[in-house]
Structure 1
């Protein structure tokens, strides 16, 4: 630490006692920056609390003081072999935790996690950006459904979000064993049901229909019936869309319907039979089969974990060492959760209101009658929200 602590030097002119508190302030701030996860401004404000008012004339500008703290926090350039110390390469219980490490990708998981992943038929994937060190783009995680509980099992640091980045991640994981998941649910920003609903709501807002949605009960029901299309069997979605489009009885919704058809259904071809390819294929946002199989309809649980994890990290773009330590803590906690599940402990239950909603929707889906599509969509609509 002595290497970055400044010391007063000999001068050839009269001493300036007011400079000493400034030097001490810088030393204190830099030392705290190395060991603390507090924000730059918090460190500075804390250091200034007891700064002598008599020395304020020698105090540099606030931005210069903050730059000094930020420079101290800059992670030195390292090679792929010295980013992580030995402790960070293993779990707290001593199991190997670092599956893969190179400049553009780091993957944390254990053999036990991979065994649990193999035994699960339903996977969930999602990424987050705020918790990544500056030399990576996102923390991308792979979760598995274990007795109705979704557990994070693989943690990957990726430098981007291209198909090559994701392919490299999945290839490295799949090379470890003979994995055969039946489903992999990921929002990829637009695909899952939750984001499907958000996209439609944003279009309602952008087309100036928010007030109409709030005030016109029939219009509100019709918009929610569009969301209800996700609960139809794939073979009936286009028929369902045509029926819903006929429910809108004014011109106000024309732009909204054009958007929905172009983006989620596919516009009719000018010549011949059929439709053009939509921006998002119907199977990407359809949840009929998932409801029938009693699977989660969205990635909300995984997104919730990412939000909670970001809160536990406490700072944006931490150092690699700090992030790795936080991931180890998550792993340690979920090792206990997995052990409890395998021992037959009761999984954490949903809130009663959410559980009852799921049960109502599941009953409607199980009782689906293709001869009563309009009534089915209305029944689904009163149980969904934007």
Structure 2
């Protein structure tokens, strides 16, 4: 997920100049080793330039000749619009749609002023995958609702103000449930990845693999920005059904792309229609209530 500004118009102006809107191909590097294709329209670029938020999603099943497709959605008026389709000629960095430091670094180089945010779904999935390394914990999580509730308190850290996450985490880890040996083993690696660990003297913390501000959703909820990729996921499931089989031919892929662009064009023409009024002032109250109910009473009382 990327928050950005009209800098995108300057960054991609050279891409659209050569096409003059006559084709869906905005950019193409033909060198076989570094082949890159970007599909879209000039109108898509202009719309993307006025979107304060970008949603970046990828899939591995619909691209001929390429191993993956990145789709960049512009987010405006509480709606996401698929605008650019980026096909890199590189091996997939990983076959799970979760946090990737390599991708984040590359985006930071191109858009240094962007504020990067990960998806809550991917954060939750990354924690859940740790269960598979401990079958007994996974079994108990699947069959014991109280046990599952306690485990989900870890995920609730994503809704704590970023500056308070480490403090609340320390309090949480002192709870009897998390002191148990099996749970400590489960969370040891996650601690290094997401929160950071105290040194032996408890005088300073290590630097986590992923910064807290990257996976924390507290400001997103307050600003009414998507904390999950549900909109992108729904689009991708629909897009998967357009070209036909997994890894379709080039003609099938382009046919599906043209159909999707036609839908996007229609949606963009309607994007300036005022949406129904929403009670956004309830967001902070909802966030506070959800956070308090996700954490144990003993923590909330401290």
Cα distance, 1:113 vs structure 2: 0.8
Q: 2:40 — aligned with what? A: 109
Q: Show CA shifts across 1:147-174 (max 9, x none).
A: 1111101111111256589949x95xx7
Q: 1:323 — aligned with what? A: 253
Q: 1:254 — aligned with what? A: 184
Q: Show CA shifts across 1:85-115 (max 9, x none).
A: xxxx89xxx7543211122101112221111
Q: Contact conserved, 1:123 with 1:181, CA < 8 A, in 2?
A: no
Q: Contact conserved, 1:266 with 1:276, CA < 8 A, in 2?
A: yes
Cα distance, 1:213 vs structure 2: 2.5
Q: 2:226 — aligned with what? A: 296
Alignment partner of 1:132 is 2:63: yes
Q: 1:154 — aligned with what? A: 84
- Alpha-carbon distance in structure 2 between the residues aligned to 1:193 and 1:362: 18
The secondary structure found in structure 2 opposite 1:329 is helix
Alignment partner of 1:196 is 2:110: no
- Alpha-carbon distance in structure 1 between the residues aligned to 2:103 and 2:213: 23
Q: Contact conserved, 1:131 with 1:310, CA < 8 A, in 2?
A: yes
Q: Show CA shifts across 1:112-138 (max 9, x none).
A: 11111111101000111111112x221
Q: 1:222 — aligned with what? A: 150
Which protein has the larger Cα radius of gyration, Structure 1 or Structure 2? 1
Q: Show CA shifts across 1:157-208 (max 9, x none).
A: 111256589949x95xx7xxxxx986455xxxxx421011112222234312
Q: Cα RMSD (Å) of the superposition? A: 3.5
Q: 1:70 — aligned with what? A: none
Cα distance, 1:142 vs structure 2: 0.6
- Alpha-carbon distance in structure 2 between the residues aligned to 1:281 and 1:183: 12
Distance 1:95 1:320, change over 3 A: same
Q: Contact conserved, 1:158 with 1:165, CA < 8 A, in 2?
A: no
- Alpha-carbon distance in structure 2 between the residues aligned to 1:264 and 1:167: 20
- Alpha-carbon distance in structure 2 between the residues aligned to 1:260 and 1:157: 32
- Alpha-carbon distance in structure 2 between the residues aligned to 1:165 and 1:325: 31
Cα distance, 1:291 vs structure 2: 0.5
Alignment partner of 1:279 is 2:201: no
- Alpha-carbon distance in structure 1 between the residues aligned to 2:241 and 2:156: 34
Where does 1:4-153 land on structure 2 (aligned, <5 Å)?
Answer: 95-103=22-30, 104-134=35-65, 136-153=66-83
Q: 1:206 — aligned with what? A: 133
TM-score normalized by structure 2? 0.74
Distance 1:244 1:366, change over 3 A: closer
Q: Contact conserved, 1:222 with 1:244, CA < 8 A, in 2?
A: no
The secondary structure found in structure 2 opposite 1:267 is coil
Q: Which runs of 5+ in 1 are unaligned?
A: 1-88, 175-179, 186-190, 348-354, 380-386
The secondary structure found in structure 2 opposite 1:230 is helix
Question: Which of 287, 293, 296 is 1:365 aligned to?
Answer: 287
